Structure 1
Amino acid sequence: MNHGSGERGGSPHVDLVLPCLDEERALPWVLGRLPDGVRAIVVDNGSTDRSAEVAREHGATVVTEPRRGFGAAANAGLEAATAPLVAFCDADASLDPADLPRLVRLVDAGEADLVLGRRRPTSGSAWPLHARLANRVLAARMTRRTGTPLHDLGPLRVAETARLQALGIRDRRSGFPLEMVLRAAADGWRIRELDVPYRPREGRSKVTGTVRGTLTAIGDMSRIFREVHA
């Protein structure tokens, strides 16, 4: 995979789902970093800015999901995906789509079924302390539940599209990424982590940018741990 427009040279090999809420400032950079063979599916989750227009101007496929919630947006993108592989990435420029090929190679080579990008902060401001501590606790619980050593929930991730669509993920809020991991583990998937740089995002996070948002996410994920048994 080389850098360039997502669908140059034929049908995309990877559909990259980008749940989006008011990210017009970040989208040009994110969409400009797509490797060859990757199509961007930007899921507008009720933006009040020009996110949808900016996404279209930069060649992305835009899906509208009026029901608020990260899981609702992520699921809408998953349902719209038709490429052999599907990836997920935050749309806030904290993660670089140019890192995707390293994750994709593990799935293509048959070495993993779900690859998670383990976030490695590039600066102290990239990942607030309360969010890092919450992630550490979450990763420890994921490790115990799945039997796979995991260090991060991994918002940059990739898997086979058809298998992921068949996994039956039900959460439509903050628990979607965790439910994906737990259901994949329960189904016998091989889960791998690869380090990826994690940069300061554009604007404030809707989840980890506030203590309240972090606590809400923790509540959602605690519910997922109770409901899904890996």
Structure 2
Amino acid sequence: MTDIQPPYGDLVLPCLDEADALPWVLARIPEGWRPLVVDNGSTDGSADIARAHGATVVHEPRRGFGAACHAGLEAATAELVAFCDCDASLDPGELPRVAAPVRDGAADLVLARRRPVTRGAWPLHARAGNRALSRMVLGRTGVRLHDLGPMRVARRRPLLDLALTDRRSGYPLQTVVRAADAGWRIQETEVPYLPRTGVSKVTGTWRGTFQAVRDMRAVLR
């Protein structure tokens, strides 16, 4: 077991106009984790709300989910780094359990598989896109996953050493592919998936889902 003393880690929260969700998300951050809200060009006051609720705000002017995630990774200083969507669809209170295998040295990367708590929490088109990507990951890496896991945990230095380059929707997939290529031990766990607050910028529509899948397929070439 690896003895990691508090603060246990940094939690990267990519953020684009999530003013309504932020108070709930930040109130659920477990003790010992520092929230890093990466503002990706919000116009609804998200950055001010994040600061008011005790988060560290990182500004990333380049639009893109991957750009926001990587800016948070570069700003992190703790040994463990977690990523989580900032739309209240995932409960940060699950983080200690998700992070435990990495903290204890049993895994190098843990992905939190989404378990919808209501029928509308995970739309059909988003599930279909996720299944397609899971099959692509299996074919490319041999790693069998059910979900790319928008909540995920790894150690900071090894993550930086992966030299991730995607700055769009393909960032989570590139993380998994390069981790698998590097021989990482990758595990899945399960977390409740709640209806998100507000409208999804990526998988809220068939068009958004198609764009995300296209971005991610490019990573596998």
**Structure 2 length normalisation: TM-score?**
0.96
Give structure 1 stretches of 5+ with no counterpart: 1-9
Moved over 3 A (4+): none
Structure 2 residue 181 is matched with structure 1 residue 186: yes
Aligned equivalent of 2:23, options 15, 28, 35: 28
Letter in 2 for 1:147: G
Q: Would the aligned equivalents of 1:125 and 1:200 in 2 still touch at CA under 8 Å?
A: yes
- Note the residue ranges of structure 2 that are not aligned, 5 or more in a row: none
Residue 110 of structure 1 deviates from its aligned partner by: 1.1
Deviations 1:33-63 (A, max 9, x none): 0111100000000001010000000100000
Cα offset, 1:144, TM superposition: 2.5
RMSD between aligned residues: 1.0
C-alpha distance in structure 2 between counterparts of 1:60 and 1:12, whole Å:
14
Partner of 2:41: 46
Contact 1:21-1:44 within 8 A present in 2 as well: yes
How far did 1:145 drift? 2.1
Deviations 1:123-160, CA, capped at 9 Å, x for gaps: 11101101101101111211222222200010000000
Structure 2 residue matching 1:41: 3-state secondary structure: strand
**Counterpart mapping for 1:139-158 below 5 A:** 139-158=134-153
Quote the residue 1:4 is aligned against.
Answer: none
The residue identity in structure 2 corresponding to 1:148 is V
How far apart, in 2, do the equivalents of 1:144 and 1:115 lie? 20
1:109 is displaced (CA, Å) by 1.4
Q: Is the 8 A contact 1:11 1:83 kept in 2?
A: no
Offset of residue 210 of structure 1: 1.2
For 1:120 and 1:141, locate their aligned partners in 2 and report how far apart those are by CA, in whole Å: 21
Identity fraction in percent? 65
User: What secondary structure is seen at the aligned counterpart in 1 of 2:220?
Assistant: helix
Work out the CA distance in 2 between the residues paired with 1:143 and 1:106. 22
Name which of 93, 116, 122 aligns with 1:121.
116
Distance in 1 (CA, whole Å) between partners of 2:120 and 2:199 is 11
Q: Corresponding residue for 2:85?
A: 90
Q: Give 1:12 deviation, angstroms.
A: 2.2
1:115 maps to amino acid: V
User: Residues of 1 paired with 2:80 and 2:8: CA distance?
Assistant: 6
Contact 1:115 1:192 in 2 (8 A): yes
Shift in Å, 1:11: 5.7
Tell me, what secondary structure is at the counterpart of 2:177?
A: helix
Give the letter for the 2:168 counterpart: R
User: Contact between 1:15 and 1:39, CA under 8 Å: does it hold in 2?
Assistant: yes
Distance in 1 of aligned mates of 2:209 and 2:103: 34
Letter in 1 for 2:213: I
The size of the alignment, in residue pairs, is 217
Q: What is the CA–CA distance in structure 2 between the aligned matches of 1:185 and 1:115, rounded to whole Å?
A: 12
